Amino acid sequence: MAKMKLVQRLHDLLAQKARHVGVEILSIGLGYTAVTTSDGGIGLSYTLYENKTSCMVLNKHINYEGRPAVELLEKITSANSIERSMALATVNALNYDFALTLSEDKDNSVMLNAFKIGEGTKVAMVGFIGPLVNIIEQRKAVLEILDYSRGIGQKDDFYTKLRNWADVLLLTSTSVLNNTTEEILENVHQDVKTAMLGPSTPMVAEAFDHLPVHMLAGTVPLDKENLLGAIRHGMGTPVLQKYSRKSYLKLF
């Protein structure tokens, strides 16, 4: 699999719409980034910092508000992680009308039951998600976690488990931002069931046609004003979920 094919597909699928829609608000919070668009859309993305060494996190001062959304969308392949975060939030804003039509999975039970996660199920998780870890452990599944930011797990050992051990892979959509989605999925054996999850998740089925992903589990904002305030105040997933709906999309 060619790395970054996923992000290029996200760009190509939404570029036409992005040329005709404007950016209203761009809010880069410490935890998450949000974009709202002129057609009523709003999208989220994790704010991914890499090698922050000064007060500047962007190379140029560009006011994207009031400009065509395609100018932000094009940053999906940028070398700058903050620009990629802005672009992924734009993807989700452009896809907002569709995301609103998706069914809710308030407590993750739809995903957990669809993947038959129960006693003895071997679950691999990329990105530590505390509440989900607790539920999986309550179901007496066996859990292996890889999370670079927390120093949990070793990549080589984890990839070996993906090839030879795992029944289910729960993959944080932050992997879209650091361009590791395709690398991780190259290592899964053919019977692994995979879900992409988290507020960054682009609920765009066609973008994943080339990948062994079976479900998208994302976050659809509902209360825009309070959500944008929470982002400005540096809040994370537990607070953002209060103003949003957990939704899912089965792929195959």
Q: Quote the CA–CA distance of 190 and 205 in Å, as a whole number.
A: 20
Tell me what the mean pLDDT of segment 19-37 comes to: 98
Give pLDDT, residue 1: 41
Q: Quote the CA–CA distance of 86 and 36 in Å, as a whole number.
A: 11
Is residue 54 pLDDT above 50, yes or no?
A: yes
Is residue 229 pLDDT above 50, yes or no?
A: yes
**Could you confirm whether domain 5-99 is CATH 3.30.390.100?**
yes
Give pLDDT, residue 56: 74
Q: Quote the CA–CA distance of 91 and 15 in Å, as a whole number.
A: 9
- How would residue 78 be classed by pLDDT, with cut points 50, 70 and 90? very high
pTM: 0.95
**b/e burial code for range 161-195 (CB count within 10 A of at least 16 → b):** bbeeebbbbbbbbbbbbeebbbebbebbeeebbbb
**Half-sphere exposure at residue 54, Cβ-oriented, CA atoms within 13 angstroms:** 4
Tell me what the mean pLDDT of segment 161-173 comes to: 97
Q: Which residues does 133 contact at the CB level (< 8 Å), separation at least 6?
A: 125, 143, 145
Q: Quote the CA–CA distance of 219 and 42 in Å, as a whole number.
A: 11
CA-nearest of 163, 174, 147 to 89 is 174
Give pLDDT, residue 3: 63
**b/e burial code for range 125-157 (CB count within 10 A of at least 16 → b):** bbbebeebeebbeeeebebbbbbeeeeebeeee
**Could you confirm whether domain 109-219+243-250 is CATH 3.40.50.11590?**
yes
Tell me what the mean pLDDT of segment 198-226 comes to: 97
CA-nearest of 215, 207, 232, 238 to 102 is 215
Is residue 58 pLDDT above 90, yes or no?
A: no
Greater model confidence, 53 or 123: 123
CA-nearest of 21, 29, 33 to 94 is 21
- How would residue 50 be classed by pLDDT, with cut points 50, 70 and 90? confident
Domain residue spans of the chain:
5-99, 109-219+243-250
Mean pLDDT across the chain: 95
